[in-house]
Amino acid sequence: MRIGFIQSAPLEDDPEGNAKTLLLDIKKIVSKKPDIILIPEFFLGGSKLMAFRQKLAAIYARTLDSLKTLARDYHVGIYGSLLEKSGPKYYNTAVLIGPNGDELARYRKIHLFHHNAEHKLVAAGATPTLVDTPWGKCALLICYDLRFPELLRGLTLQGAQFALICAQWPAARADHWLTLIKARAIENQVFVFAANRIGEKRESVFPGLSSVVGPWGECLLQMGKQKSGLCTVNLSEGTRVREMFPVLNDAILWHK
């Protein structure tokens, strides 16, 4: 499985410009034949524009259609989160697009970041999401979810082979980002593919550091602030690690 990363730096006041830049960046990386491309959480920007969230949600919806077309044209999966309007509520929703341009799953962020008042801007999701993909069973997470080990553990016990994470994780807590990605991979013996943004947003600076960590805790990719990156993994390594060191058997017994 070949994973591509786009580390975008969306401007808060130009979602349409952000969309054009993102689509161009994806067109550049598809020539390297990734199976899936990960893009950051709220890849067109978000929080300052929440006062205009109905317009912003509409721009996200149009961009999602364009991403589906790109996925179909280049036979590549895409994963990232957007602002979704559903009835009177808005959600931070991750969408996984399959390589045929179809929507494989949506996941509404469960753990909202109260420290930054995210709960005042969007509603919380309630459903952990495990999805069958062309590459295997996949757990979907968004940013702050990474701090809550029970979410990925539950999905692992249901059969997840890898996790996709999109984030806007600041440089001030970069050590936490790297440590938690590694911890989630080791404790669940799964691959963790985690995409973060670069650039600045008001008082926050974002470091990139999109990463891939394998089921034995080995760091297979750790980006800096470059705009794109690639990593190739053998997903069967997860099976080998679990057979060699079957700690999840004890976790399953405990949960029973």
Respond yes or no: is residue 138 known to be catalytic: no
Q: Do the beta carbons of residue 18 and residue 239 sit within 8 Å?
A: no
Respond yes or no: is residue 27 known to be catalytic: no
Q: Which two tokens stand for residue 96?
A: 């996984």
Burial class (CB in 10 A: 0-12, 13-18, 19+), 230: middle
Q: Which two tokens stand for residue 123?
A: 């509603």
Q: Which residue type, as a one-letter code, is found at position 71?
A: A
Which residues are CB-contacts of 90 (< 8 A; sequence separation ≥ 6)?
Answer: 50, 53, 57, 83, 84, 121, 122, 123
- Which of 109, 138, 166, 231 does the annotation list as catalytic? 109
Respond yes or no: is residue 143 known to be catalytic: yes
- Which of 138, 143, 166, 231 does the annotation list as catalytic? 143
Give the C-alpha separation, 131 to 99, whole Å: 14
Q: How far is CA 203 from CA 15, 172, 200, in A?
A: 19, 11, 7
Alpha helices per DSSP H over the chain: 15-29, 53-74, 149-157, 174-188, 236-244, 247-255
Rg (CA), the chain: 17
Known catalytic residues? Answer: 41, 109, 143
